[in-house]
Structure 1
């Protein structure tokens, strides 16, 4: 993950205004507004047909068992589903391994006051 972040920073530096950050959580929780933002970034008009396609993907009739599938009954519940299945000890291990990267990516530790108050592991106002 560290090397991915380093590559991103190089792209950001060498191609200002041409690189867009898309966080999975934001796209899953706010799919239409994120689609609008991305279409605007590339200079394309988001049509009603495009919006219908996004809606169909994030509000499917079923949840796929494939973890990499994009179709879900309600995409907004997916980003934090893993928290329900993990023990506090395993979450602390993840935090311990990844904590140094959190500030650069806008994420918060599970024991942060913001998470405990809002149930969110990322700062929605974060801009790299």
Structure 2
């Protein structure tokens, strides 16, 4: 991954974390990693634990940020969320996986932020 992509991702995660905190979420952890993968933000609101995948794009020539979550990426997020939930203390039983999709202008301004609650379904939760 290039430095520019890393910087873009880090910027998007900071914006997403600020959005979550401003809307009543408490950030538990950022950039949680396991063998299975990484979760950008783990937050809590009320009795719900929320795993957040942040997708940041400049423009939408290659599709929107939300559309960039592939099936294999979703599977890695689910596996990582399950690993966190099994290992964490005081982990709420109510859990979901959200996507926060950011679109940026060429100059770095945030054009849009879309918070999609329950964007990724965990097939093992039913």
| Higher helix proportion | 1
Relative contact order, higher structure (CA 8 A, sep 6+): 2
Specify if TM > 0.5.
no
Measured against the shorter chain, the TM-score band is under 0.3
| TM-score after normalising by structure 2 | 0.26
TM-score by length of 1: 0.25
